[in-house]
Amino acid sequence: MRIALDAMGGDLAPLSNVLGALAVTKENPDITVVLVGDEQAIRSHVPDQLPANLEIVHASEVIGADEEPVRAVRRKKDASMVVAMNLASEKKVDAAISAGNTGALMTAGLLYAKRMEGIERPALAAYIPNRKGRVTLTLDVGANMDAKPSHLLQYAVMGSLYAEKVLGFERPTVGLLNVGTEEGKGNDLTKHVYPLLKAADLHFVGNVEARDVMDGACDVLVCDGFVGNVLLKSLEGAATTIFSELKQEFTSSLINKIGAAILKPGLLRFKKRMDYAEYGGAPLLGLGSPVIKAHGSSGEKAIKNAILVAARYVQKDVNVVIQQALKSSTEESE
Amino acid sequence: MRIALDAMGGDLAPLSNVLGALAVTKENPDITVVLVGDEQAIRSHVPDQLPANLEIVHASEVIGADEEPVRAVRRKKDASMVVAMNLASEKKVDAAISAGNTGALMTAGLLYAKRMEGIERPALAAYIPNRKGRVTLTLDVGANMDAKPSHLLQYAVMGSLYAEKVLGFERPTVGLLNVGTEEGKGNDLTKHVYPLLKAADLHFVGNVEARDVMDGACDVLVCDGFVGNVLLKSLEGAATTIFSELKQEFTSSLINKIGAAILKPGLLRFKKRMDYAEYGGAPLLGLGSPVIKAHGSSGEKAIKNAILVAARYVQKDVNVVIQQALKSSTEESE
């Protein structure tokens, strides 16, 4: 399979992106990675003799993290992200990945990969690790800032199908991110979404508060993209802060260093479970082609895992599964 | 000074509330706590001979956590929360505290304590501990679910004044919670708020992402009440999960228990810094009387600290300070 990676997107591009791609191609001969971006910049980080499953497609422009998405995508037709998206929409690759400007990626996706039939707004999903030892598929975490009730209903349907068909969760539970568990809580949006989710053919478990997400209160969590982004980054920020502070405590004296050395294996095991880089990238569900958004601050490991997520996405034929399920549910209701 | 506590509000009421009040009255002879609620239920948890600085005011009704706020407050005129609020608005006490239904507390505040002159929407503030060793005053964290740009501007002004005059922060920095640091990011609300904050007489430092809040990216963080609630509960949830998981790792074997015993003092120090119960309660800024909302899941310690927060609020004359500052800033601009 062939996967296009925007080599220029993200805070640590192009170095981390190139290193992540090299790591994947080395270990996975069946995955061809197409690095899209400034050829000279990419070439400076790769061996003269490229691996057989690594290709470079030159793109002369880059969309910055602070550029206005719609204008940037329309103006910069030769931006690395746009070129990668075009390769996907023209089926020259099976999937596209970028760690760049989320809004621009969504804009490029809508413009070139197009929406999946019947989907009003594609959504960016993310995996949040939980204490039940699985992940909570959370969407939308930043594709659409201002959502309508019908969008959240579609997020729930897409997320539930993805969790069931791809993650293998049996009858996945669906929760609505809210400020209280009781029906009737929330803002205008959640008050309108609640009855829609309740009436839909979903295993809806009601409102879920942010503090219960990591307890595994539900398998699929829906919210608008602004709120989902805040949720995700809050959890990341808290984890980063706590581990940094603990590290400081644990190295503050010789005796503490001894205590920490004893606990290190357990700490590392737990940290690995919590590290978002382990999950690498999340799908934009509802687009015509598989598209993965990697974190803006992705290092080599996160980029590598984003490529592997894209590979699973392609392997499991997620888009076809969702499309078929949407179709059959429509036929059933007719 | 006299502080009214809704004895019936919160998940652990009335026991935790009564115990918290008893703890405060024992240690602070200058603070009189007025417990408002079902007298029989309260009496079952206090000594027959009440401390000199503990009073009981009977209220026959309770507003539940899942009741529709406006209807509940209008119907239940003798609810513990409403009676406590009335004591404050009639100046029979200096402040009122509740761990009950946030929406109902805000409704009761608007109905009885009224809005401070010139304030469109009062806001619920919270302290988020950060790595700079101080707190980030965050508002709104749940008083108003659907906010307008002018509301957030007022939150920023109130929060900045509170941080400066009461917390003693010199020229406090003000941040706008957003999904990216660049200008132009966000939803409709934040896009409209950004230029207002930029133009105001504030030390505005721009957009702040959720992951940077605990790093201390700003002293005062503004957002709408839904988003602020998600932020706060995400941080709480992450901290709870991490500490529970670490506890499990640290007690999984004898050798780990030894390692953990060595590190315990440092762990406890850090946990104490992170524990929201340490901060107890947060002010509803912008009401005519000082009102403190304690967490719904407040235990004895959180209730005790909420009462102490209310005492500092009264001591520092926060409402007068804000009112005067708002007035003089209006006069200056005329």
pLDDT of residue A118: 84
Tell if the CB–CB gap between A226 and B263 is shorter than 8 Å.
no
Specify the number of domains making up chain B. Answer: 2
Dihedral, CA atoms, A185, A188, A193, A199, nearest 10 degrees? 70
- For residues A145 and A178, membership in a common domain is answered with yes
Q: What angle do CA A230, A231, A235 make, to 5 degrees?
A: 115
- pLDDT at residue B41 is higher than 80: yes
Q: Are strands B281-285 and B123-129 parallel, antiparallel or unpaired?
A: antiparallel
Calculate the alpha carbon distances from A165 to A89, A159, A322 in Å. Answer: 24, 10, 9
Res. A75 pLDDT band, cuts 50 70 90: very high
CB contact (8 A) between residue A234 and residue B235: yes
Answer whether A234 sits within 8 Å of B262, measured CB to CB. no
Q: Is the same domain home to A185 and A45?
A: no
Domain of residue B20: give its range: 1-117+286-334
Given a cut of 80, whether residue B329 has pLDDT beyond it is no
Rounded mean pLDDT, B255-281? 77
Tokens describing residue A37? 């971006």
What is the predicted pLDDT for the residue at B332? 54
For position B127, what pLDDT does the model report?
87
B187 pLDDT higher than 90 = yes
% of residues, chain B, pLDDT over 90? 65
Domain ends where: A244, A259, A279?
A279
Nearest CB among A249, A261, A266 relative to B270 is that of A249
Please tell me the predicted confidence (pLDDT) of residue B31. Answer: 98
Give residue A332's pLDDT band: very low, low, confident or very high (50, 70, 90): low
Sorting pLDDT into bands at 50, 70 and 90, what band is A329? low
**Confidence band (pLDDT; 50, 70, 90) for B98?**
very high
CB contacts, 8 Å: A179 with chain B:
142, 145, 225-226, 229-230, 233
Q: How close, in Å, is residue B34 to chain A by CA atoms?
A: 28
| pLDDT at res. A311 | 92
Q: What is the pLDDT of residues A10-51, one digit of tens each?
A: 999 999 999 999 999 999 999 999 999 999 999 999 999 999
Out of A254-268, A292-306, B89-103, pick the least confident: A254-268
The rounded distance, in Å, linking the Cα atoms of B22 and A41 is 68
Please determine, for residue B30, whether its predicted confidence score (pLDDT) is greater than 60.
Answer: yes
Amino acid at A169: F
- Which of A261, A279, A297 is the last residue before a domain boundary? A279
Residue A269's closest chain B neighbor by CA?
B249
Average pLDDT on B140-161 reads: 92
Q: How far is A255 from chain B (nearest CA, A)?
A: 7
Mean pLDDT of B50-63: 97
Strand boundaries in A248-305, DSSP class E: 281-285, 291-294
Instruction: Give one word for B229, left, alpha or beta, with left for phi > 0 and alpha for psi -120 to 50.
Output: alpha
Q: Which of B215, B240, B269 is closest, CB to CB, to A241?
A: B215
Comparing CB atoms, the residue among B146, B182, B256 nearest residue A262 is B256
Tell me how close the Cα of A187 comes to any Cα of chain B, in angstroms. Answer: 5
Do residues A254 and A138 both lie within one domain?
A: yes
Query: Do A292 and A333 share a domain, yes or no?
Result: yes
Same domain, A233 and A102: no
Chain position carrying tokens 């690790």: A129
Where is average pLDDT lowest: A32-46, B166-180, B277-291?
A: B277-291
- Residues B275, B203, single domain; the answer is yes
Considering the domain architecture, whether residues B43 and B83 belong to the same structural domain is answered as yes
Question: Which residues of chain B are within 8 Å of residue A180 when distances are taken between CB atoms?
Answer: 65-66
B166 near B318, Cβ under 8 Å?
Answer: yes
- Closest chain A residue to B249 measured between Cα atoms? A266
Q: How far is CA A117 from CA A142, A269, A305, in A?
A: 21, 42, 29
pLDDT tens sequence across A226-253: 999 999 999 989 988 888 888 888 888 8
Q: Are residues B156 and B77 in the same domain?
A: no
pLDDT at A331: 60
Q: Which residues neighbour A38 within 8 Å (Cβ) at sequence distance 6 or greater?
A: A7, A8, A14, A58, A59, A60, A62, A80
**Which residues are paired to B58 by β-bridges?**
B37
Looking at per-residue confidence, does A53 or B275 come out higher?
A: A53
Q: Give residue A171's region: left, alpha or beta (phi > 0; psi -120 to 50).
A: left
pLDDT for the residue numbered A334: 47
Residue B334's pLDDT band (boundaries 50, 70, 90)? very low
pLDDT higher than 60, residue A155: yes
Domain end call among B279, B294, B310: B279
User: Do B210 and B315 belong together in one domain?
Assistant: no
Q: Å from B312 to nearest chain A CA?
A: 28
- Region for residue A286 given its phi and psi (left: phi exceeds 0; alpha: psi -120 to 50; beta: otherwise): left
State whether A77 and A172 are in the same domain.
no
Token pair in block for residue A225? 């993209």
Q: What are phi and psi of B198, to 5 degrees?
A: -65, -40
Binned at pLDDT 50, 70 and 90, residue B278 comes out as low
Distance to chain A for B294, nearest Cα, Å: 15
**Other CB atoms within 10 Å distance of the CB of residue A261:** 12
pLDDT at residue B276, as a whole number: 60
Partner residue opposite A240 with nearest CB, options B177, B211, B225: B211
Residue B36: partners with Cβ closer than 8 Å, 6 or more residues away: B4, B5, B6, B7, B8, B56, B57, B59, B80, B81, B83, B84, B87
Residue A271: band (very low, low, confident or very high) from pLDDT cuts 50, 70, 90:
confident
Res B88: pLDDT: 96
Query: Measured between alpha carbons, how far is B72 from A169 in angstroms, rounded to an integer?
Result: 40
What ipTM did this prediction achieve? 0.82
Whether B52 and B67 map to the same domain: the answer is: yes
Residues of chain A with C-beta less than 8 angstroms from the C-beta of B185: 66, 103
Helix (H) or strand (E) holding A74: helix A69-75
Residue of chain B minimizing CA distance to A147: B187
pTM of the entire predicted model: 0.83
Give the DSSP per-residue string, B157-203.
Answer: HHHHHHHHHTS--SS-EEEEEESSSSTT-S-HHHHHHHHHHHHSSSE
- Strands (E) across chain B are located at 2-6, 32-37, 54-58, 95-98, 123-129, 135-139, 173-178, 203-209, 220-222, 281-285, 291-294
B175-189 average pLDDT score: 92
The enclosing domain of B163 has a CATH number of 3.40.718.10
Does B155 share its domain with B43? no
pLDDT in tens, A49-61: 999 999 999 999 9
Q: Which of B188, B239, B255 sits opposite A146 (nearest CB)?
A: B188
Higher pLDDT, B265 or A125: A125
Residue B161: predicted pLDDT:
86
Query: Cβ of A210 and B230 within 8 Å?
Result: yes
